[in-house]
Structure 1
Amino acid sequence: MAPLAGIGFKPQHFDDAVRSAPTDLWLEVHPENYMVDGGPRLAMLDALADRFPLSLHGVSLSLAAAALPDAVQLQRLRRLIDRVQPGLVSEHLAWSTWAGRYVPDLLPFPRTHEALEHLVRNVMHTQERLGRQISLENPSHYLVLDGHDWSETDFLAELVRRSGCGLLLDINNVYVSAHNLRSDPLDYLDAFPLHAVTEIHLAGHAVDETDTTLLIDSHDAPIADPVWLLYRHVLSRGGARPTLIERDGEVPVFPVLLAERQRANVLLTNEAVAA
Structure 2
Amino acid sequence: MFDASGQDISLPARVGVGFKAKHFAGLTAEPGPVGWIEIHAENYMGAGGRPRAQLAALAERFPVSVHGVGLSIGGQAPLDRDHLARLKTLCDRIAPASFSEHLAWSTHDGAFLNDLLPLPYTRATLARVARHIDEVQEALGRRMLLENPSSYLAFAESEMSETEFLSEIARRTGCGLLLDVNNVFVSATNLGHSPQDYVDDFPVAHVGEIHLGGHDEDADEAGAPLLIDSHGREVADPVWALLDRVLDRAGPRPLLVEWDTDVPDWPVLRAEAGRAAAALERVAA
TM tier, smaller: over 0.9
Q: Deviations over 1:247-268 (max 9, x none)?
A: 1112111111111111111111
Are residue 121 (structure 1) and residue 131 (structure 2) matched? yes
Specify the SS of the correspondent of 2:142.
Answer: coil
Q: Secondary structure at the match of 2:60?
A: helix
Cα distance, 1:20 vs. partner? 2.1
Query: Residue 130 of structure 1 corresponds to which residue in structure 2?
Result: 140
Matched, 1:201 2:211: yes
Matched, 1:35 2:45: yes
Q: For residues 106-255 of structure 1, what are the structure 2 equivalents within 5 Å?
A: 106-208=116-218, 213-255=225-267
Q: Structure 1 residues 119 and 73, CA, compared in 2 at 3 Å: closer, same or farther?
A: same
Q: After alignment, is 15-24 or 194-203 more displaced?
A: 15-24
Q: Residues of 1 paired with 2:113 and 2:214: CA distance?
A: 24
Equivalent position SS for 1:127: helix
CA distance in structure 2 between the partners assigned to 1:222 and 1:270 by the alignment = 20
Shift in Å at residue 109 of structure 1? 1.4
Select the residue among 243, 248, 272 that pairs with 1:260.
Answer: 272
The answer for the alignment partner of 2:87 in structure 1 is 77
Whole-angstrom distance in 1 between the partners of 2:78 and 2:20: 30
Give the stretch that moved more between structures: 262-271 or 201-210: 201-210
Gaps of 5+ in 2: 1-10
CA distance in 1: counterparts of 2:248 and 2:33, whole angstroms:
26
Code of the residue aligned with 2:130 in structure 1: it is V
- Give the CA deviation at 1:23: 7.4
**Matches of 1:83 and 1:268, distance apart in 2:** 31
1:48 to partner: Cα distance: 1.2
Q: Give the distance between the partners of 2:49 and 2:33, measured in 1 at CA.
A: 27
Who is 2:99 aligned against?
Answer: 89
Q: Secondary structure at 2:23's aligned position in 1? A: helix
Cα 1:36–1:189 change in 2 (3 A) is same
Q: Measure how far apart 1:210 and its partner are.
A: 6.5
Counterpart of 1:122, as a letter, is H
> The residue matched to 1:51 in structure 2 has which SS?
coil
In structure 2, what is the Cα distance between the partners aligned to 1:129 and 1:239?
Answer: 31
Q: Distance in 2 between matches of 1:143 and 1:119?
A: 19
Q: CA deviation at 1:103?
A: 0.7
- Letter of the 1:184 partner, please give it: S
CA distance in 2, matches of 1:18, 1:69: 37
Q: Secondary structure at the match of 2:214?
A: coil
Displacement of 1:161 after TM fit?
A: 0.3
CA offset at residue 24 of structure 1? 5.1
Q: Which residue of 1 aligns with 2:6?
A: none
Runs of 4+ that moved beyond 6 A: none
Aligned equivalents of 2:61, 2:272: Cα separation in 1: 21
Post-superposition offset of 1:216 = 0.6
Q: Which 10-residue stretch deviates more, 9-18 or 19-28?
A: 19-28
Q: Which residue of 2 aligns with 1:13?
A: 23
Q: Render the CA deviation track for 1:94-123: whole Å, top value 9, x for unaligned.
A: 001122221110011111111100000000
Contact 2:33 2:273 (C-alpha < 8 Å) held by counterparts: no
CA distance in 1, matches of 2:34, 2:259: 20
> Counterpart amino acid of 1:80?
L
The answer to whether the 8 Å contact 2:17/2:38 transfers is: yes
Structure 1 unaligned regions, length at least 5: none
3-state DSSP of counterpart to 1:26 = strand
How many residues are matched?
273
| 1:57 aligned partner | 67
Tell me which amino acid in the other structure corresponds to 1:254.
Answer: W
Q: What is the TM-score when the length of structure 2 is the normalising length?
A: 0.93
